[in-house]
Amino acid sequence: MNYFSSDFKLGILGGGQLGKMLLSDTRKLDIQTYVLDPSDEAPSRMACNKFFKGDLMDFETVYQFGKMVDVLTIEIELVNLDALEKLENEGLRVFPSSKTLKAIQNKGKQKDFYVENGIPTSKHLRFVDLSDLKKALENDELEFPFVWKCAEFGYDGNGVKIVRSTLDLIHLPDVECIAEDMVPFKNELAVIVCRSPSGEIKTYPVVEMEFHPEANQVEYVICPARIEDAVAAKARAIALNVSEKFNHVGLLAVEMFQTQDDQILVNEVAPRPHNSGHYSIEASYTSQFENHIRAVLNLPLGSTDSKAAGIMVNLVGADGFSGNVIYENITTILGWNGVTPHIYGKKQTRPFRKMGHVTIVNQDIKEARRIAEDVKNTIRVIA
């Protein structure tokens, strides 16, 4: 099939910043792309061939959108799976498949999947709602501390909380949830796996993630991770196994813990481009976004090797600021070698909202990390 400069149409469910970055590659390759998103101000709107406003969880909206395209993919996993299943049954190529998404969309089912498939992960319990969880505490089936996660609709640290006492339960929503054992880890790692329908598969190097202590958001992604080769090899092998078991097509970001005794435990996955792979736009031979497009179209996958060390700094709304966004001191960092800002196109900022990221590329990872710190201390997202 001719994808380039033709009548072929690629559909993307979701028009956020991940979609916007995917579109830089569909434009580069001149692939006609349609986007569906619920917001009039979706970042992807400016870069796609056709934009449709609609609810991603509504069966009819997703189904009718799918009827207009030749291949359908996602940039967010919270979409109507029944519509995807019907489209697949009618012959549309949907990647990742509804079956893959069904195993991932609900975090309780996702954790059960790891246990059933012998994938190392922390212990967990599932609860239908908050009162069910409280009963387990009363009956000594669950004890403090633990990690609480809502089963669905969590993102960017929202829907995750460390619960140390009954006081921490007060503000939790009354939704389906899971409780996970606290893992005393050395590092939080991630591996992005890229897989095509024909079975070609590649992994990006292991990255290390440094988190904001309050917002539970990634502050820095460091590639390559500053870990021993044997640990990195183990992480990549486990990520490949996870990919094989989910039978996914496209990108799969596998987030992991490196324990104190160098075991690797899978935390969770995202079946799409991911924050942990943004560094790849500047630092890799083929970015995660281009490889996602190549994978879902069953084109040869590009090299996942790095040209240099890459560090990504998340740009999030500063605490105490809400309103029309201003990127304070952005012109300063634009003057620094190897520093590239990416602005997502969200007009309104609020505390800890993801507004963009900055990539730092350098042959020396220590120098890259030092510059990343300077970037973090210089640019501010305010209103």
The domain limits of the chain are: 9-94, 123-180, 185-382
Residue 18: count other Cβ atoms within 10 Å of its Cβ.
27
Residue 182 labeled ligand binder: yes
Asked if pLDDT for residue 381 goes beyond 70, the answer is yes
**Spatial separation of the C-alpha atoms in residues 368 and 191, rounded to whole Å:** 20
Residue 312 labeled ligand binder: no
pLDDT tier at 211, thresholds 50, 70, 90:
confident
Check residue 157 and give its pLDDT.
61
3-state secondary structure (DSSP) of residue 182? coil
Please check whether the two domains, 9-94 and 123-180, share a CATH topology.
no
H helix runs in 90-181, sequence order: 98-105, 107-116, 130-138
Q: What are phi and psi of 352, to 5 degrees?
A: 65, 10
**Spatial separation of the C-alpha atoms in residues 109 and 81, rounded to whole Å:** 15
Residue 267 labeled ligand binder: yes
pLDDT tier at 46, thresholds 50, 70, 90:
very high
Asked if pLDDT for residue 58 goes beyond 90, the answer is yes
Residue 290 labeled ligand binder: no
Asked if pLDDT for residue 156 goes beyond 90, the answer is no
Residue 149 labeled ligand binder: yes
| DSSP assignments along 225-240, one per residue | -SS-HHHHHHHHHHHH
Residue 188 labeled ligand binder: yes
Stated pTM of the model: 0.95
What CATH code would you report for 185-382? 3.30.470.20
Residue 315 neighbours by CB under 8 Å, 6+ apart: 327, 341, 343, 354, 355, 356, 357, 358, 379, 381
Q: Which fold has domain 9-94?
A: Rossmann fold (3.40.50)
Check residue 217 and give its pLDDT.
73
Check residue 243 and give its pLDDT.
97
Residue 366 labeled ligand binder: no
Each residue of 288-345: pLDDT tens digit?
999 999 999 999 999 999 999 999 999 999 999 999 999 999 999 999 999 999 999 9
Cα of 279 vs its chain's centroid, Å: 13
Asked if pLDDT for residue 171 goes beyond 90, the answer is no
Pairing of strands 32-37, 93-94: unpaired
H helix runs in the chain, sequence order: 17-28, 59-66, 81-89, 98-105, 107-116, 130-138, 229-246, 280-283, 288-296, 330-334, 365-378
Residue 26 neighbours by CB under 8 Å, 6+ apart: 10, 32, 33, 48, 293
Determine the average pLDDT of the residues in 338-353: 95
CB-count exposure of residue 374 (10 Å: 0-12, 13-18, 19+): middle
Tokens of 262: 């160098």
Residue 228 labeled ligand binder: no
Determine the average pLDDT of the residues in 366-379: 96
Q: How high does pLDDT run on average in the chain? A: 95
Instruction: Return the closest-CA partner of residue 216 out of 163, 165, 264, 262.
Output: 163
Rg (CA), the chain: 20
Q: For a pLDDT cut of 90, what percent of the chain falls above it?
A: 94
| Residue 268 · residue 190 · CB < 8 Å | no
Q: Which fold has domain 123-180?
A: Dna Ligase; domain 1 (3.30.1490)
| Residue 250 · residue 272 · CB < 8 Å | yes
Q: Which amino acid is at 313?
A: V
Q: For a pLDDT cut of 70, what percent of the chain falls above it?
A: 98
CB-count exposure of residue 69 (10 Å: 0-12, 13-18, 19+): buried
Each residue of 272-293: pLDDT tens digit?
999 999 999 999 999 999 999 9
Each residue of 4-13: pLDDT tens digit?
999 999 999 9
Instruction: Return the closest-CA partner of residue 328 out of 310, 312, 341, 311.
Output: 341
**Spatial separation of the C-alpha atoms in residues 205 and 288, rounded to whole Å:** 12
Whether the link from the prior residue into 224 is cis, omega within 30° of 0, is: yes
**Spatial separation of the C-alpha atoms in residues 314 and 341, rounded to whole Å:** 10
**Spatial separation of the C-alpha atoms in residues 131 and 143, rounded to whole Å:** 15
Residue 134: count other Cβ atoms within 10 Å of its Cβ.
15
Q: Which amino acid is at 274?
A: H
Determine the average pLDDT of the residues in 174-198: 96
